[in-house]
Amino acid sequence: MARVQARVEAALERFLPAAGIAPQRLHDAMRYAVLGGGKRIRPLLAFAAGEASVGEPVSADPARLEIAACAVECVHAYSLVHDDLPCMDDDVLRRGKPACHVEFDEATALLVGDSLQSLAFQLLAEHRLSDDPAVQVEMVKILAAACGSRGMAGGQAIDLASVGQPLTVPELEYMHIHKTGALIRASVALGARCSNVLAPGQLARLDHYAKCVGLAFQVVDDVLDQESSTATLGKTIGKDAANNKPTYVSALGLARARALAEELREEAQAALSELHGGARRLAELADFIVLRKF
Amino acid sequence: MARVQARVEAALERFLPAAGIAPQRLHDAMRYAVLGGGKRIRPLLAFAAGEASVGEPVSADPARLEIAACAVECVHAYSLVHDDLPCMDDDVLRRGKPACHVEFDEATALLVGDSLQSLAFQLLAEHRLSDDPAVQVEMVKILAAACGSRGMAGGQAIDLASVGQPLTVPELEYMHIHKTGALIRASVALGARCSNVLAPGQLARLDHYAKCVGLAFQVVDDVLDQESSTATLGKTIGKDAANNKPTYVSALGLARARALAEELREEAQAALSELHGGARRLAELADFIVLRKF
């Protein structure tokens, strides 16, 4: 994990516009929002999916995985910058630092998010990610659909609309499948397509893994938001409860939310059974996501 | 022109998520921001560029041009929605209607812009735009670069930073080449690549045409902002002067700004001379852009 995280950090450093290039404030702010923070869960999933194979272990070219990993991380970073804006979740703390609009200003933060989204697609299009350009076009389509109004941005809209509403567990699931799940699924899908060794049925099982892991991630987030501290998480805790936002903990209680995360971890790992070595790194990431303390 | 505008309007209507689909408020707002307004200059340029050819007239498949045209128009609409937000230009009127964040709310407008950007890339990736998928990957790259921090979003950052600064004409040009020029050039570049009949040198000349037309567009905008009325333009006029923003009129005076627009029109049309029939529709669009009254 540390090796992949360091590699992705170095790649992001390289792919982001250099700090001295005009418009300088925007580029400084883009670097601030992306570099030096975060667990890099999505890049880790992309790299691990690139190692998933049937029979003989075949791993995707790390230089290609790096691009896919940076693209999904740019989208993730953009979503955090926009979500923290005053008109959205109005949060001032992110990854242990002042949120982008606090460190810079709102207009710059808006443009940071907009530019990071463009950069993600630029990365997917200006490097070779597959021997078959048609697969690369498919990768753009996967990421675009995951970002859009029927993916991540749509999930955020549902989230905003649900403030103060007591949601049922299926409604919560529907929201999170969009808000965080879509990009996590895209991370796995893009990583897997960098190696291009899996049949459609196997890609579908990987996608089921990603769907379970994405939901588990959110359930664990809700549990940690209840149990942990602002210092440990590097973001404001207890905010969802304070904002009267529905969470898995408010819907299920702490014990049942923990049990649900555990079930999702098992379901995710079961989906990997046909792959070589149970796709070891993906299985380990499911452990990491569910058992993490921050 | 009317035929292409109607065709693009119908295509946008079809490609935008239907109004009834969840999340409904977001989809309603996306449709509000895109449909039923605007001159559709960028789609017109994409269609006209698709007709540019050498020797025998060869026109790109209109079904492909439609996709490219809708993609650039989605990006343009997203940029208007974000630019109108209170933290940016803080404008309440757009295309003769309340701005998106006024009709809906700021959070929704933010997500509308984000989702329209994703939709643009989704359109370029989920339809066939070229017989060669590698050309399609290149089209994604062209649009992404035009949108990003060294394109349109960067231009908006420069614009924000220039409020209250008396810019020189080269500095103004630098700002506008990014802010509006990048997307206008992408519109021509994407349209031309739908037909795929031009050699690199000819594509470069088309790009020079687009660069001139993009600047002329902005110069004329500044002239109209001084000369016309809010009712005619459908947006708040005199705002740049009120906000102490540099314009071509403030830098050059009205008469020299008009003369500059005229020079740019001639330079744009000269760039078309080697193309079949002087690429008649592109030449006419240069006339339209410079001679328009709204």
Q: Give the best residue of A70, A137, A156 to mutate against chain B (max B CB count within 10 A).
A: A137
What pLDDT was estimated at residue B19?
87
> Who's near B18: CB < 8 A, 6+ residues apart?
B27
Task: Kindly list the residues from chain A whose CB atom is less than 8 angstroms away from the CB atom of residue B147.
Answer: 114-115, 118
Task: State the Cα–Cα distance between residues A73 and A154, nearest whole angstrom.
Answer: 18
How many interface pairs between A and B have CB atoms less than 8 angstroms apart?
161
Cβ atoms within 10 Å of A266's Cβ, excluding its own: 13
Pairing of strands A97-98, B93-94: unpaired
Chain-chain contact of B137 with A125 (C-beta, under 8 angstroms): yes
Task: Kindly list the residues from chain A whose CB atom is less than 8 angstroms away from the CB atom of residue B133.
Answer: 132-134, 136-137
ipTM of this predicted complex?
Answer: 0.95
Task: State the Cα–Cα distance between residues A79 and A100, nearest whole angstrom.
Answer: 12
Nearest to A118 among B21, B107, B147 (CB): B147
Shortest distance between the Cα of B277 and any Cα of chain A, in A, equals 34
Task: Kindly list the residues from chain B whose CB atom is less than 8 angstroms away from the CB atom of residue A131.
Answer: none
Residues B275-279, mean pLDDT to the nearest whole number:
84
Residue B97, CB-side half-sphere exposure with 13 Å CA sphere: 16
Nearest to B23 among A122, A147, A161 (CB): A161
Contact assessment for residue B118 and residue A122, using Cβ atoms and an 8 Å cutoff: no
Chain-chain contact of A147 with B118 (C-beta, under 8 angstroms): yes
Cα(first)–Cα(last) distance of chain B, in Å? Answer: 16
Burial label for B274, CB within 10 Å (0-12, 13-18, 19+), is: exposed
What pLDDT was estimated at residue A113?
98
Chain B stretch 165-194, residues whose beta carbon is closer than 8 A to a beta carbon of chain A = none
Residues B7-31, mean pLDDT to the nearest whole number:
96
pLDDT, tens digit (0-9, with 9 covering 90-100), for A250-293: 899 999 999 999 999 999 999 999 888 879 999 999 999 999 87
What is the per-residue DSSP string for B131-147? SSHHHHHHHHHHHHHHH
Token duo for residue B52: 């540019």
CA A21, chain centre distance (Å): 28
Burial label for B102, CB within 10 Å (0-12, 13-18, 19+), is: middle
Shortest distance between the Cα of B77 and any Cα of chain A, in A, equals 13
Task: State the Cα–Cα distance between residues A38 and A94, nearest whole angstrom.
Answer: 9
CA B76, chain centre distance (Å): 5
CA A214, chain centre distance (Å): 8
Chain-chain contact of B108 with A157 (C-beta, under 8 angstroms): yes
Chain-chain contact of B118 with A30 (C-beta, under 8 angstroms): no
Task: Kindly list the residues from chain B whose CB atom is less than 8 angstroms away from the CB atom of residue A165.
Answer: none
For residue A271, is it left (φ>0), alpha (ψ between -120 and 50) or beta?
alpha
Chain A stretch 52-91, residues whose beta carbon is closer than 8 A to a beta carbon of chain B = 78, 82, 85, 87-88
pLDDT at B240 over 80: no
Q: Which helix (H) or strand (E) holds B102?
A: helix B100-103
* pTM exceeds 0.80: yes
Nearest to A115 among B26, B140, B148 (CB): B148
In the chain, the amino acid numbered B159 is: D
In the chain, the amino acid numbered A175 is: M
What pLDDT was estimated at residue B231?
65
> Who's near A285: CB < 8 A, 6+ residues apart?
A41, A44, A45, A48, A213
Nearest to A122 among B136, B145, B157 (CB): B145
Could you state, in chain order, the average pLDDT of each consecutive group of 10 residues for chain A (294 residues)? 95 95 95 93 96 76 96 98 96 93 98 98 97 96 98 95 86 92 97 89 95 95 83 70 81 94 97 88 95 82
Instruction: Give the model's confidence band at B233: pLDDT under 50 very low, under 70 low, under 90 confident, else very high.
Output: low
Cβ atoms within 10 Å of A260's Cβ, excluding its own: 21
Chain-chain contact of B144 with A158 (C-beta, under 8 angstroms): no
Chain-chain contact of B117 with A119 (C-beta, under 8 angstroms): no
pLDDT, tens digit (0-9, with 9 covering 90-100), for B31-89: 999 998 889 999 999 999 998 877 777 778 999 999 999 999 999 999 999 999 999 99
Chain B stretch 98-137, residues whose beta carbon is closer than 8 A to a beta carbon of chain A = 105-108, 110-111, 113-115, 117-119, 121-122, 124-126, 132-134, 136-137
Task: State the Cα–Cα distance between residues B4 and B62, nearest whole angstrom.
Answer: 10
Instruction: Give the model's confidence band at B8: pLDDT under 50 very low, under 70 low, under 90 confident, else very high.
Output: very high
Contact assessment for residue B287 and residue B216, using Cβ atoms and an 8 Å cutoff: no
Q: Which helix (H) or strand (E) holds A98?
A: strand A97-98
Q: Give the best residue of A25, A121, A173 to mutate against chain B (max B CB count within 10 A).
A: A121
Cβ atoms within 10 Å of B59's Cβ, excluding its own: 14
What superfamily does domain B2-291 belong to in CATH?
Farnesyl Diphosphate Synthase (1.10.600.10)
Task: State the Cα–Cα distance between residues B98 and B106, nearest whole angstrom.
Answer: 13
Q: Give the best residue of B118, B159, B167 to mutate against chain A (max A CB count within 10 A).
A: B118
Main-chain phi, psi angles of A273, to 5 degrees = -60, -30
Residues B183-200, mean pLDDT to the nearest whole number:
93
